[in-house]
Amino acid sequence: MTPSSTANRVSAPHPQNTNVPELAWKQRYASLGPDFVVALSPTPLPEPYWVARNRPLASALGLPQPWGSNDALLQTFTGNTAPAGAAQSASVYSGHQFGVWAGQLGDGRACSLGELQGLEVQLKGAGPTPFSRRGDGRAVLRSSIREFLCSEAMHALGVPTTRALCITGSDAPVWREERETAAVVTRVAQSFVRFGHFEHFSHGQQHGKLKTLADYVIDHFYPTCREHVGDGAQPYVALLAQVTQRTAEMVAHWQSVGFCHGVMNTDNMSILGLTLDYGPFQFLDAYDPAHICNHSDTQGRYAFYKQPNVAYWNLYCLGQALMPLIDDQEQAIAALETFKTHYPQALATRFAAKLGFSQAHDTQRPLIEMALKLMAQDRVDFTIFWRHLSHWAAGMDLADARVRDLFMDRAGADALLQAFRALHAQDDTDARAAVSTRMLRANPKYVLRNHLGELAIRAAKAKDFSVLQALQTVLEDPFDEHPDHEAWAGFAPDWAAGIEISCSS
């Protein structure tokens, strides 16, 4: 590993915080050794304050309550003091960015404290690491709020994701396109290992380390890969197959809720199939399959409709990286090719649920295609369409215009509703009510639209965190009604189209 010259900017170890009760930190990943992680100390931020907290996750981690009034924890999650028993480290990885091999990257602004209750805890934005390259190691308040809210929104939607524990802020300036202020978002996952970690050791011809990493991931997260090994099955092929399946399911889930990941580089792909690295993401407003949510993605490599193919491409990068451990290339290719069955199956299952069916069936496909084509043609709001359809399903009455009114093509909308009704083929009210209830559990009323995040950010910049808190509460419960926040379930306002989200975070 060759840390860049920024290493000399990493601050000296600071004293441990004795006011935080000693928690049972483990260092499973860090114990792989100095080829995998570099010990470091976060760079303190002046006069930190709480911006957001996630109480249930704090309880799950065993943090002392009430933690909001605990100044020691505020300092800890800003990176100003080291919690007793925790280590602090950054990991090395590499990756393909926008389709091009980018070489070594690594945690340039994430500092891992180790694992609590089987969950790794990382401070993102806690200052430079040996992998910061030309970056400042910081995260701004704006992007930290987006990551915090979206992680928890995705979790509540049931999408596999890293979680967010808290945000602390400081008035210390951070320069992006303009002067902003610093924040640290603490994120949590079973593991933050990325495809890029494998690519790193493979490209560096460090095949022993590659095996150590693969064994670590299998032993901790994919133990079934060791089954049947005596029959000639290969654990690393099994790993590739299982990661392929999880990735297919994750992307199918994204597509079913209209979530667009802005930077699907291999260094942002979780080996556990978790949504990872919330930068320029977006939930679609109007349905446009070609939508590009990242203003830095000038070629549209990560346009919404391309994301399943990108996932498949990224899996091939992982497969390539694992080849030194795999004897039989055909087996590796076979594992990767399962994407072509897993992905459509996963997508069909998701859309079946959105349509109110308990199982996917081929007869649903024309209806799904019809709905998506019509929505694309009329640029209908993705979330609102599915939610309105869920309510409409309770009566399936063509005189009820709430879905039709979303479309300019009224005849097309009527044909769609008739096809939906024909497919359900239920006349009695109870059965229709049951369909509607199922659909209301599959089609959220609330998603983190760009403009909602923006409202929380604007208020937070003025030190008003109430919008953020209210939005957090609503997004934690996205399938239910929140009468006080009806407007957040409405169409995006015109100014939303002007929000530019880039890689700058």
| Residues recognised as catalytic | 267
Q: Which CB atom, from 199 or from 277, has the smaller least distance to Mg ion? A: 277
Tokens 């990735």 belong to: 247
User: Applying CB under 6 A, does 132 fall inside the site for ligand AMP?
Assistant: yes
| Cis amide bond preceding 66, omega within 30 | yes
Which residues 233-272 are close enough to bind ligand AMP by CB under 6 A? 263, 267-268
Cα Rg of the chain, angstroms = 23
Segment lying near ligand AMP (by CB under 6 A), choices 105-113, 237-245, 282-290, 338-346: 105-113
Instruction: Indicate the burial class of 41 (C-beta count within 10 angstroms; 0-12, 13-18, 19 or more).
Output: middle
Cβ 265 to Mg ion, closest distance in Å? 7
C-alpha 395/C-alpha 386 separation (Å) is: 15
Residue with tokens 């924890």: 73
Q: Which region among 23-31, 102-110, 212-220, 325-333 touches ligand AMP (by CB under 6 A)?
A: 102-110
| 102, amino acid identity | A
Instruction: Give CA 261 to chain center in angstroms.
Output: 8
Angle at CA of residue 267, ends 327 and 172, nearest 5° = 155
Shortest Å, Cβ 185 to Mg ion: 13
Q: Contact with ligand AMP (CB under 6 A): which of 96, 138, 187, 253? A: 138
Cα 48 to chain centroid, rounded: 26
| Among 30, 37, 105, 293, contact with ligand AMP (rule: CB under 6 A) | 105
* Distance set, CA 283 to CA 152, 425, 485, 499 (Å): 14, 32, 18, 13
Task: Please tell me whether residue 136 binds Mg ion under the rule CB under 5 A.
Answer: no
| Binding status of residue 503 toward ligand AMP by CB under 6 A | yes
What single letter denotes the amino acid at residue 286? A
Q: What is the dihedral of CA 41, 71, 62, 145, to 10 degrees?
A: -70
Beta carbon of residue 346, minimum distance to Mg ion (angstroms, whole number): 24
Residue from 38, 107, 187, 192 binding ligand AMP (CB under 6 A) = 107
CA 69 to chain centre: 29
Residue 109 touches which member of ligand AMP, Mg ion, none, C-beta under 5-8 Å by kind = ligand AMP
277 lies in the site for Mg ion, by CB under 5 A: yes
Residue choice 42, 108, 169, 308 for contact with ligand AMP (CB under 6 A): 108
Stretch that binds Mg ion, among 125-133, 153-161, 239-247, 273-281 (CB under 5 A): 273-281
Minimum Å gap between C-beta 27 and ligand AMP is 20
Number of residues that bind ligand AMP (CB under 6 A): 17
Closest approach, Cβ 281 to ligand AMP, in A, equals: 11
Strands 37-39 and 139-140, by their bridges, are unpaired
Largest CA distance in the chain: 73
Q: Any idea what DSSP says for residue 269?
A: -
Place of tokens 């092929």: 237
268 binding Mg ion? (CB under 5 A): yes
CA distances from 366 to 13, 81, 110, 115, 420 (A): 61, 58, 45, 47, 10
Residue 275 within binding range of ligand AMP, rule CB under 6 A:
no
Among ligand AMP, Mg ion, none, residue 444 binds (CB under 5-8 Å by kind): none
Q: Is 390 in the site for Mg ion (CB under 5 A)?
A: no
With contact defined as beta carbons under 8 Å apart, do 407 and 460 qualify? Answer: no
* CB closer to ligand AMP, 48 vs 279: 279
- Residue 136 touching ligand AMP (CB under 6 A): yes
Comparing CA positions, the residue from 325, 162, 349, 314 lying closest to residue 244 is 314
Partners of 22 in the beta sheet?
A: none
Nearer to ligand AMP, 40 or 374 (CB): 40
**Least gap, CB of 40 to Mg ion (angstroms):** 18
> Is residue 173 within the footprint of ligand AMP (CB under 6 A)?
no
Stretch that binds Mg ion, among 22-30, 70-78, 268-276, 379-387 (CB under 5 A): 268-276
Kindly state the smallest distance separating residue 172's Cβ from ligand AMP, in Å: 13
Q: How far apart, in whole angstroms, are the C-alpha atoms of residue 159 and residue 345?
A: 16
Tell me whether residue 175 or residue 227 sits nearer to ligand AMP (CB atom).
175
Q: How many CA atoms lie within 13 A of 140 on its CB side?
A: 19
Answer yes or no whether residue 123 interacts with ligand AMP by CB under 6 A: no
Residue 108 interacts with which of Mg ion, ligand AMP, none, CB < 5 to 8 Å by class = ligand AMP
Task: Report yes or no: 183 and 141 within 8 Å, Cβ to Cβ.
Answer: yes
What residues form DSSP beta bridges with 194?
A: 270
The contact set with Mg ion (CB under 5 A) reads 268, 277
The contact set with ligand AMP (CB under 6 A) reads 105-109, 131-132, 135-138, 263, 267-268, 277, 279, 503
